Amino acid sequence: MNMKDTLLVPFSFAIDTVNGTLTPERPPVQRRLDDMKTAYAQETSGDDLVYEVRQIDVPTTNSNLLSSTTTLYPGKTNGEYYMTKGHFHQKRDRAEVYVGLSGEGRLLMASESGEVVVEEMRAGSVNYVPGGWAHRSVNVGEEPLVFYAVYIADAGQDYLAIEHQGGFPVIIVEGENGPEAVPNPRFQQA
């Protein structure tokens, strides 16, 4: 096999920064409340669409960057804002970058030892998630939160680690002065 046969052909996409759609179009992976029963502090259910991910596929090697758009819709269930499932990377040392395109949210990050960092997400924000940190996005606004994510393609997602510990150490709820992080009653340190 020669070098030309092993090269990925360059390509381009356009992103609609308001709704996260891609051109050329990619079908989204959709998550509904029923898909996230155990992600919230209180078990939830329903057919409401919580978020959509449109992935730009590349071979899953450590020499490629996988990227996607996420559209996280506004809403709450049992007092918690709608959020993504959240995960560690299967390869824990893999980092990720989020670029905010529209909307208002929070990026909730937690280490395996229970440290927590909460950062704002909005149009123009760039959030860096170092390796070893679980991450979840939360929509705290009235409009969809749309962001673009980039990470090393072989990182993988580990949702079970989050599920086994009852979620993240904190949850994001509406407080007297806006969104606030409060202790998650289901969380159990691994």
**What pLDDT was estimated at residue 5?**
53
Q: What is the mean pLDDT of the chain?
A: 94
CB 54 within 8 A of CB 28: yes
Domain 12-183 has CATH 2.60.120.10: yes
Q: Output the DSSP codes for 127-144.
A: EEE-TTEEEEEEE-SSS-
pLDDT tens digits for 140-185? 999 999 999 999 999 999 999 999 999 999 999 999 999 999 999 9
Q: Could you tell me the pTM of the whole model?
A: 0.94
When mean pLDDT is compared across 6-10, 68-72, 85-89, 181-185, the lowest value belongs to 6-10
Instruction: Read off the pLDDT of each residue in 37-57 and give the average, rounded to a whole number.
Output: 94
CB 158 within 8 A of CB 94: no
- Domain positions in the chain are 12-183
